[in-house]
Amino acid sequence: MDLRHSYTLIAPVYDAFLASATRAARQRSLAQLPVEPARVLLAGVGTGLDLPLLPSQHAYIGLDLTSAMLRRTATQQRPPDFRPVQGDAQRLPFADRCFDQVILHLILAVVPDPLACLQEASRVLASGGQVLIFDKFLVPGQRAPLRRLLNPLVRRVATRFDVVFEELLRQTPSLGLESDHPALAGGWFRLIRLRRK
């Protein structure tokens, strides 16, 4: 089963599983958006759980792989300047440096190629712009045998358990690390802020 099919099936129940569990971490991440109006990409917007938490002064594009997920963004309270776009976060359909901010919430550990996703976020980000990440990662050298054992099964359905963020960042030299804090599950989920050089 590919991600397009599995997330079409998951869309109706996605919010019930994730909304309350992730709301506080999402708020902490989104609080780092600038005060000045900006062009913001939400890559992997999903059902739109971030939308009610977004400040209203920015222009937003919410990209997701499936129309089923994007349809559910219409049920969320949304900022006034929000446009849903269907597309692949690993091959963004946008020009270089056309966004001031990129939000990657629960997407790097979902896509088959997280490196391509991060590098695409960097490509479309203007110099000095931020990437705000909320996701689950292994730390370098972490064995995590149960997560690694389950990974071949769960990655086919919904998510990955084997992504090491430091490996992605090392291969994306255009981005610099500004902050990295534990968010949920004993630090398995992290809040990370990057800056485009």
pLDDT tens for 16-36 read 567 788 999 999 999 999 999
Inform me whether the pLDDT recorded for 114 exceeds 70: yes
Specify the pLDDT at position 108: 96
Q: What is the residue extent of each domain of the chain?
A: 3-196
Inform me whether the pLDDT recorded for 153 exceeds 50: no
pLDDT bucket at 151, cuts 50 / 70 / 90: very low
Mean pLDDT of 163-189: 95
pLDDT bucket at 57, cuts 50 / 70 / 90: very high
Top-tier CATH class for 3-196: alpha beta
| Six token digits for residue 178 | 């500004």
* pTM > 0.95: no
Query: What are 74-98's pLDDT values in tens digits?
Result: 989 999 999 999 999 999 999 999 9
Specify the pLDDT at position 185: 80
- Looking at every residue in the chain, the average pLDDT score rounds to 88
